[in-house]
Structure 1
Amino acid sequence: MTNDLSRDRRPFAELSDVAMHYGGAEGTLALEGVTMNVDHGELVAVVGPSGCGKSTLMRLMSGLWLPTDGGVIIDGKEVDRPLSIVGMAFQNPTMLPWRTILENVMLPLEVVAEHKHRLRSHRAHYEARARELLALVGLAGFEHKLPHQLSGGMQQRASLCRALIHDPKLLMLDEPFGALDIFTREDLWAVLQELWLARRPTVMLVTHDLREAVYLADRIVVLSARPGRVIAERRVPFVRPRRREHTFTPEFNALVQELRDLIDIARQPSNATAGEPEHVG
């Protein structure tokens, strides 16, 4: 019993002194000395200057790449290969144009071993799950449309459903709304918040939009200029569910400005070699 309780208290994701070189040990150093934890069900946003290694960090956590140095532990296991417990969504939704929206959403079920062997015999169950997700993001009635028949924002909603269809324990979001206009983007913040509140996966969100980070995250991690290091963390104190009108409050904008100031500091190469990160609860 003691061991089970200890395991439950352990963070879901643990990165210990992680470094990543592109092109071998003598190549470009993208990340250096990154140590951070992510708790079960926590939504963490990662921000920093362009090229600071945010997307690299996500690839290391999902097992698509392995670190040059240090260790990555996800759900209690050292990462040494791509993880099937991960769902991913990117800036471009990359729907397969010849498949309907429903078929696109169900695509991971054809790949993830846990589900692909059951898909044929339990298709009705999986289709119901896909329809439930699509309804949750406002796409009920669009299941049999092709991607080109949907707007970019609607395709991104479907992309979020696709990332969640196999009930991943870890959801990785790499600038998922970066290509959208501000009005659609803000609508999708609310959609993502609702999906997260309903299912509570652990989420890592990479974004350049500081308002987006404050609106969505429980905690925000700031990386330095390359090589990326954690130079600050900020916990977001605002209660959920958060609404668009909250983004106009002085408290919200004060945190956005504080992050903006940290990014200005982070853009200075000299800060890439800074020591311990600054933590604020």
Structure 2
Amino acid sequence: MFVSLDGVRLAYPSDYGEVLALDGLTMGIEEGEFAAVVGPSGCGKSSLMRLATGLHLPQSGAIRVADKPVTGPLSITGMAFQNPSLLPWRTTLANVMLPLEIVRPHRRRLKHERTAYTQKAEDLLSLVGLEGFGARFPWQLSGGMQQRANLCRALIHDPVLLMLDEPFGALDAFTREELWAVMQDLHAQKRFTVILVTHDLREAIYLADKIFVMSARPGRIISEHRVPFPRPRPMDITYEREFVDLVQELRGEIADARKEVA
């Protein structure tokens, strides 16, 4: 497995005692696979993301990425969140190139290879439909355009693992579906491994190869689904009976997980 979590337990201290976020969580993702994680609110999905990137370490259990134990923050990952968090004083192009100033070995090379890196950033912007917008500032872009730039920033340093935490959740339905198609195309071209956390079951099924369903807190994996639809997936597939049936199956599992702590 390219990403594996085995019997992971994570707890946070609080004023009211220890809060157990994850307990006995086990999952595996193959290299190049697109995985989605769904579950009740507060089940620990974002905690899982922080563990897989080494931002937090578990109290027990084992985490491995790229056949190495995770002992701290990983430089081989890219991350995109619901809020694009583009720096308002930097142009879109400069925002996209920001990780190159931080992540090794790119930060050592940037000074001498800036032209090549700039072209790479412009190529990424073109790939997501932002050709010619590199000189614009974030406040000059729509929400959907900002999120496209955010995806480019997450990919500029060629991560082998892309972590997506509700990246399209704040967008309107039409823009969200446009970016699903963009994300599908990016994954087809780059073949990075993806972990997507989302509350949108249609999004999970449209984008993912594999879907993990989590229990209520403390989170663990209670089921795993292989998405049966071939790629590339047209948007019309979201209205087909088999797709809708899978949405309902996932919704039922999550509803049952909520009842466990109700």
TM-score by length of 1: 0.91
1:194 corresponds to 2:178: no
1:119 corresponds to 2:93: no
Deviations 1:158-203 (A, max 9, x none): 0000000000010000000000011100000000001110101000
Q: Which among 238, 256, 261 is matched to residue 252 of structure 2? A: 261
Q: Residue in 1 aligned with 2:171?
A: 180
The CA deviation at 1:14 is: 1.0
1:20 corresponds to 2:6: no
For residues 243 and 133 of structure 1, the distance between their equivalents in structure 2, rounded to whole angstroms, comes to 22
Q: Residue in 2 aligned with 1:245?
A: 236
Give the secondary structure class of the aligned counterpart of 2:217: coil
Give the secondary structure class of the aligned counterpart of 2:139: helix
Q: Residue in 1 aligned with 2:225?
A: 234
Give the secondary structure class of the aligned counterpart of 2:35: strand
Q: Residue in 2 aligned with 1:66?
A: 57
Matches within 5 A, 1:1-281: 11-23=1-13, 27-269=18-260
**Equivalent residue pairs, number:** 260
What percentage of residue pairs aligned between the two structures are identical?
Answer: 62
Unaligned runs of 5+ in 2: none
User: Does structure 2 conserve the Cα–Cα contact (< 8 Å) formed by 1:226 and 1:269?
Assistant: no
For residues 111 and 234 of structure 1, the distance between their equivalents in structure 2, rounded to whole angstroms, comes to 37
Give the secondary structure class of the aligned counterpart of 2:8: strand
Question: Displaced runs of 4+ in structure 1, greater than 4 A?
Answer: none
For residues 233 and 37 of structure 1, the distance between their equivalents in structure 2, rounded to whole angstroms, comes to 10
The CA deviation at 1:269 is: 2.8
Give the secondary structure class of the aligned counterpart of 1:117: helix
TM-score by length of 2: 0.98
For residues 267 and 161 of structure 1, the distance between their equivalents in structure 2, rounded to whole angstroms, comes to 36
User: Does structure 2 conserve the Cα–Cα contact (< 8 Å) formed by 1:16 and 1:36?
Assistant: yes
User: Does structure 2 conserve the Cα–Cα contact (< 8 Å) formed by 1:21 and 1:31?
Assistant: yes
Give the secondary structure class of the aligned counterpart of 1:84: coil
